[in-house]
Structure 1
Amino acid sequence: MDLPTPTKPIKRQRGTPNIDRTISSPCISLCLLDETDTFCIGCNRTVDELRDWCIMDAEQKIKVLEDIEGRKSKT
């Protein structure tokens, strides 16, 4: 399986208008990384996606949700 390349954290100032607060986190409170320390076994997000979720805009969150669905279909 190809592992995602880690990315630099998204840098945004507090109060940035592009931060989305309407799309709920896919977290299901089963927070544990897989054996490669790459994906959360609960929500299938990468460490980078977990870290940056709260400062992503809507477009970025939608992309993450689509990526999660793709990961689920591969398992």
Structure 2
Amino acid sequence: MTQKIAVSLPDEQVVSIRRAVAQGRAPSVSGFISAAVARVQREDDLAQLLDDLDRELGPVDDTDLAWADKALGLA
């Protein structure tokens, strides 16, 4: 289900969104806004997962980070 709502945005954001639509980078203004909200939701979900892992396993320390850097060839 979708709901139609009204939002107020700064002029420069509206220009940017309309440009994205005109350039084919978004299907519509609504599509652009929906994708932006979905991205924030994914970021929130990831932050929650990381918080849960920290609670369950403890925070990542410098030793863990050094190991990961070495394993990834970054060190």
Q: For this structure pair, what is the TM-score category when the shorter chain's length is used for normalisation?
A: under 0.3
Structure with the higher helix share, 1 or 2 = 2
User: Structure 1 length as normaliser, TM-score?
Assistant: 0.27
The structure number with the bigger radius of gyration is 2
User: Structure 2 length as normaliser, TM-score?
Assistant: 0.27
Structure number with greater CO (CA < 8 Å, separation at least 6) is 1
